[in-house]
Amino acid sequence: MNLTLKIWRQKNATSKGKFVTYKVSDISSNSSFLEMMDVLNESLVLKGDDPVAFDHDCREGICGACSMYINGRPHGPDKAVTTCQLHMRRFNDGDTIVIEPWRARPFPVLKDLIVDRSAFDKIIQAGGYVSVNTGGVPDANAIPISKVNADLSMDAAACIGCGACVAACKNASAMLFVSAKVSQFALLPQGRTEAAERVQAMVAEMDNQGFGNCTNTGACEAECPKEISISNIARMNREFLSARICAPKVKEGSGGGI
C-alpha cells in the first residue's frame, strides 16, 4: 500500500507545532498501524531526520500507552481496538491519513504525538484505590459478591486509562475514565468502605485538572477501546449525589456521635 500521512509535528511542549506530510510506500496490509509508523520512522532516521515520537508499549491492546487521533477518531476507525491493534487493511491504497495527538488542556503535548496524561494519575491518587491492612493474606472468597456486581465491576476495571474518552469527547471530559474507576470499586464490598469519600475526591480532582463537563453525547463510549459503558457515568453521578445528600453531619473527633 502507498499512503500519504499528515502528522502533527511539535518539537517540545512549548514550541508551536504544525502538520507535516509524509509519503510511505510498500506498506503491507497485514502490518499494524504502529508498524507502519515504524517503517516511516526508519526512513526518517536513514535520511537523518527526527523520527515521529509516539507513545507505545505492549502493542497488544492492554497497556493503554498508544494514543493517536486518526482521521477524526481516537485509535482510528475500528471499534473496540487500540491504535496498536489497528491494522492497515482497514485503509485503502492511496489514502491520506491525518494523525493528531489527543487534544485537551489537561493533556499537553510533550512532543509530536505524545501527550502528558499524568492528569489521570492525579485523579487516581485522589481516591482511585482501596486501603488494605498489611498482615496475613485474607481468604479470597471470604466475602460473598453477587455475580452481576462482580461482572459489572470487572467490565469497569477493563479501562486501561488510555484517554481516548477525553480525546473523543467534544468537551474533553474525563467522565468515562473517572466513572469506570469509581465504579470498579463502588460495586464491590471492599470498595464500599471508602466509596463516599472516593467519588467526591475523584470528581473534585477531575474538575481541578481542567477537564470539560459531560453532555451525554456518548462519543466516549463509542470510541473506548475497552467498550466501557456510559452507564458507569450515571453510576458515578448517583454515587456522587448520594454521597453529598446522605452524608451524616459528623464532627471530627466526636467518635461518630451525631
Name which of 47 and 170 has its Cβ closer to other proteins: 170
- For the window 202-241, what string marks contact with other proteins as x by the rule CB under 8 A? -xx-xx--xxxxxxxxxx--xx------xx-xxxxxxxxx
103 binds other proteins (CB under 8 A): yes
State phi, psi for 110 to the nearest 5 degrees: -95, -45
Cell of 26: 510498500
The minimum distance between CB 253 and other proteins, in angstroms, equals 27
Burial-class residue 141 by CB neighbours within 10 Å (0-12, 13-18, 19+). Answer: exposed
CA angle 99, 18, 110 (to 5 degrees): 75
The minimum distance between CB 146 and other proteins, in angstroms, equals 15
Which among 203, 191, 190 is positioned nearest to 241, based on CA atoms?
A: 203
173 binds other proteins (CB under 8 A): yes
- For the window 33-72, what string marks contact with other proteins as x by the rule CB under 8 A? ------------------------------------x-xx
Residues 105-144 that bind other proteins (CB under 8 A): 105-106
Q: Residue 146 and residue 141: Cα distance in Å, rounded?
A: 12
Cell of 217: 453525547
Contact by Cβ (8 Å): 13, 48: no
The minimum distance between CB 132 and other proteins, in angstroms, equals 28
Cβ-Cβ contacts under 8 Å for 25 (sequence gap 6 or more): 2, 3
Cell of 16: 508551536
The minimum distance between CB 127 and other proteins, in angstroms, equals 14
Name which of 24 and 98 has its Cβ closer to other proteins: 98
Task: Please give the residue ranges that form the binding site for other proteins (CB under 8 A).
Answer: 6, 19, 69, 71-74, 98, 100, 103-106, 168, 170-173, 175, 203-204, 206-207, 210-219, 222-223, 230-231, 233-241, 244
